[in-house]
Amino acid sequence: MITYPDNVTCLADYIENVLKTFADRPAYTALGQTLTFSEIDSKSSALARYFVHEAKLTPGTKVAIQLPNLIQNPIAVYAALRAGLVVVNTNPLYTEREMKHQFTDSGAKALVILGDLLPKFTNIQSETGISTVITTSATELLNPSTAPALDGTVSLSKAIEIGSELPPFTRPTMALDELAMLQYTGGTTGVSKGAALSHKNVLANCIQMLERIGEGFKDGEEVLVCPLPLYHIYAFTVGMMALFAKGTQIILIPNPRDIDGFIQTLKPHKISAFMGINTLFVGLGRHPEFSKLDFSRLHLTMSGGTALTQAAVSIWRDVTGNTITEGYGLSETAPVVSFNIPGKEEIGTVGHELDDTEVALLDSSDTPVAEGESGQIAVRGPQVMMGYWNRDDETAKVMTKEGFFKTGDIGIRTESGAIKIVDRLKDMIIVSGFNVYPNEIEDVLTSHPSVMEAAVVGKPDDKTGERVCAFITVSAEVSTDDIIAHCKKQLTNYKIPKSITVLEELPKSTVGKILRRELRSA
């Protein structure tokens, strides 16, 4: 059983304890600027007072936060939670249609937004319930004069300035089982749904992750690189909530696609922890300048969000000397379900389930499968969401009568009991009655020295029902015949791609996940 701190009744208590404990330590670094925990404390406290006294936002009001990886992001998130508000994480790359859906579906009344995105928002504002709009620029904390100044909005620096002159407020008593945030799913299977996460969901997952990471992660000594977006649940909980609680300095990377700039940002720092996904591990590992960095303190590299390839593991280990520790999670589980023990990784698996977490593997009738068989991963634990926001029908589809959340992912247990992700249930390809899992084929493809990335999808076939089609990016010229020959050495016949298409770039989501669905119609 995990133990909750006695003096914590909500995430605001948790955050305030951390800010006071590590007051003089550097907390966040971005764009060449570093703020201490004390500075984050004062700015988020002032913004919380602005929310309450000036904007007149009442407890439980939804505030959408649409920011990239800037220090303004944690300031806004911590302020909202300290004011008793509900955080609605919003992707800055959303279109007007996506913004409108999320703002109206969540019922958001306030928005903290990057000024560059305001034109899109103003086009749809009248169709939303948002009346309080706080804007910021990338460099506003360094130079407040760069803050956007538009009618009907207030800049973040001005809101903080106003809030700093306002009196403290008494935060209403909150319970751990109350709503803390809405985390919208990627919408890969239809309209994006808001996973309703309670204070307990997020706090439990923080405690679970810190237990699993262990005492090797030292209070007040660590430097974490966070190139994954904070609006994504993985970076939000594991970075901005869990590792933050260890007094960690978190280096935010606003644009990880700029590999040259990314590496330049890291040069002054002795990094000790890193969170990423395949595309980042491979892109950095193959860059000649990356190997020149100081990795002497790097002891924890975390992967989650998409299946880790063996190629990424090898490249990263060769360059940094560090093994990637893989975990598994979803928006609906706040997010982490399982995680390898650092230093005792079972490569190719996502480790064992976290403390207080049960994982069952189910067949199509929600019955546990026999030992050694694969099944749909179902999760029960304190991190499992309250449900989908205003979507009881969708919630009912994913919850079993025993209270397990059905993930839509297929998994299998290894002999040690670790969980191995086979694939997404909906991505499985059926060739002549045989189940084919894209992840397996992608792993074989990326083990070829010339293949950088791979995506495999099924397409209709008159003879076999579906056929395997592969899409790859390459680092050197290579023939498709060579790739097919490579596959034939490692895959049985029905798994071998019937077509291989070389692309300049694979379609990806904003967090770097390869979008197989876009390739099915290619």
440, part of any domain: yes
Domain holding 416: CATH number? 3.40.50.12780
pLDDT digits (tens, 9 = 90+) for 291-349: 999 999 999 999 987 778 888 999 999 999 999 999 999 999 999 999 999 999 999 99
169 and 254 belong to one structural domain: no
Do 74 and 144 share a domain, yes or no? yes
Of 424, 454, 476, which closes a domain? 424
Q: Please indicate, yes or no, if residue 377 is contained in any of the structural domains.
A: yes
Task: Please tell me whether residue 348 adopts helix, strand or coil conformation.
Answer: coil
Instruction: Give the tens place of pLDDT for each residue, 152-181.
Output: 899 999 999 999 999 999 988 899 999 999
Domain boundary at 424, 458, 493, which?
A: 424
Query: Do residues 294 and 368 both lie within one domain?
Result: yes
Tell me the mean pLDDT in the region 129-138: 97
pLDDT at 188 over 80: no
CA distances from 423 to 150, 410, 465 (A): 47, 5, 19
Q: Do both 220 and 346 map to the same domain?
A: yes
Cβ–Cβ < 8 Å for 132, 111: yes
* In a shared domain, residues 493 and 418: no
Predicted confidence (pLDDT) at residue 187 exceeds the cutoff of 60: no
Q: Write out the H or E segment, with its range, that includes residue 520.
A: helix 516-520
Half-sphere exposure (CA, 13 Å, Cβ side) for 8? 21
- Domain membership flag for residue 280: yes
Q: Give the residue from 424, 442, 477 where a domain finishes.
A: 424
- Residue, of 128 and 426, whose pLDDT is higher: 128
**Neighbouring C-beta atoms of residue 495, cutoff 10 Å:** 21
In-domain check, residue 107? yes
Would 235 be classed as within a structural domain?
yes
Find the helix packing angle between 11-21 and 72-82, rounded to 10°.
130
Say yes or no: 73 and 210 in one domain: no
**274: number of CA atoms within 13 Å, CB side?**
25
* pLDDT tens track for 354-401: 999 999 999 999 999 999 999 999 999 999 999 999 999 999 999 999
Q: Is the pLDDT of residue 499 over 80?
A: yes
Are 464 and 345 part of one and the same domain? no
Q: Do 246 and 369 belong together in one domain? A: yes
Q: Which of 509 and 335 is assigned the larger pLDDT?
A: 335
| 186 found inside a domain | no
Query: Which has more pLDDT, 425 or 49?
Result: 49
In a domain, 189, yes or no: no
The top-scoring range by mean pLDDT among 212-226, 463-477, 491-505 is 212-226
Which backbone phi and psi does 470 adopt, to 5 degrees?
A: -115, 145
Token duo for residue 59: 């407890």
Residue 407 lies in a domain: yes
Domain shared by 351 and 486, yes or no: no
Q: Mean of the pLDDT values across residues 490-505?
A: 93
What tens digit of pLDDT does each residue of 10-43 get? 999 999 999 999 999 999 999 999 999 999 999 9
CATH number of 37's domain: 3.40.50.980
CA dihedral 274, 185, 214, 40 (to 10 degrees): 70
Question: Quick check: 460 and 450 in contact, CB under 8 A?
Answer: no
Residue ranges making up the domain that contains 209: 198-424
**Cβ neighbours, 10 Å, residue 341:** 14
Look up the pTM and report it.
0.89
3-state secondary structure 284-325: HHCCCCHHHCCCCCCCEEEECCCCCCHHHHHHHHHHHCCCEE
Q: What is the CATH number of the domain that holds 480?
A: 3.30.300.30
Number of structural domains (the chain) is 3
Given a cut of 90, whether residue 261 has pLDDT beyond it is yes
- pLDDT confidence of residue 402: 96
Q: Which of 246, 217, 256 is nearest to 30 (CA)?
A: 256
Within 8 A by CB and 6+ apart from 167, the residues are 49, 53
Same domain (yes/no): 221, 356: yes
Which of the four pLDDT bands, split at 50, 70 and 90, describes residue 149? confident
Average pLDDT over the chain, rounded to an integer: 94
Do 99 and 214 belong together in one domain?
no
Rounded Cα distance, 498 and 277, in Å: 28
pLDDT at 170: 92
Same domain, yes or no: 511 and 469: yes
Q: How far is CA 29 from the centre of its chain?
A: 19
Under 8 Å between Cβ of 290 and 284: yes
Percent of the chain exceeding pLDDT 70 equals 99
Residues 472-501, mean pLDDT to the nearest whole number: 93
